[in-house]
Amino acid sequence: MRALIQRVTNASVTVNEAIIGEIDAGLLILVCAMPDDDFDTVKQLALKISKLRLFKDEAGKMNLSLAQTGGTALVVSQFTLAADTSRGNRPGFSGAAKPDMAETLYLQFASALRDLNIPVETGKFGADMSVALTNDGPVTIWLDTES
């Protein structure tokens, strides 16, 4: 799985002019399932993200995890993280998992974070979404379970 993680002071996702997911301080997690991913991959990524020390402690150092701060995650499916730009100017997305599998893994990922006691809001798989955020820091981290 691939994930782009942004530490935010707030974030929301809107579908058809209605906010369907919204958080205050926490992480916006854009996630893309890849063809070889499975439930073990999902759990591995959720655990890694829950433990990443991306939040400031009393001394201003990035020493605290999402779990430690009590922050929330906004998880949004983002198949374009699988973009292949090696040929031409139009990205290809054939490297992403097929939609049925991707939706299952996306939902399992959100559930795996919840199982780690992290409050989770989500976008809507396959929908045309508008994502708004205030990036805090800015802190943006790229994770790929293959590397």
The reply to whether 80 belongs to the active site is yes
pLDDT of residue 16: 96
CB atoms within 10 A of CB 39: 12
pLDDT of residue 91: 93
- pLDDT tens digits along 36-54: 999 999 999 999 999 999 9
Average pLDDT, the chain: 96
CB atoms within 10 A of CB 58: 7
Pick the catalytic residue from 80, 93, 134, 140. 80
pLDDT of residue 15: 97
pLDDT over 90 at 146, yes or no: no
The reply to whether 79 belongs to the active site is yes
Note the pTM of the prediction, 2 decimals: 0.95
pLDDT over 90 at 147, yes or no: no
Q: Spelled out in words, what is the top-level CATH class assigned to the domain 2-144?
A: alpha beta
Of residues 52, 100, 103, the one with CA closest to residue 78: 103
Pick the catalytic residue from 41, 78, 108, 122. 78
Pick the catalytic residue from 6, 55, 79, 122. 79
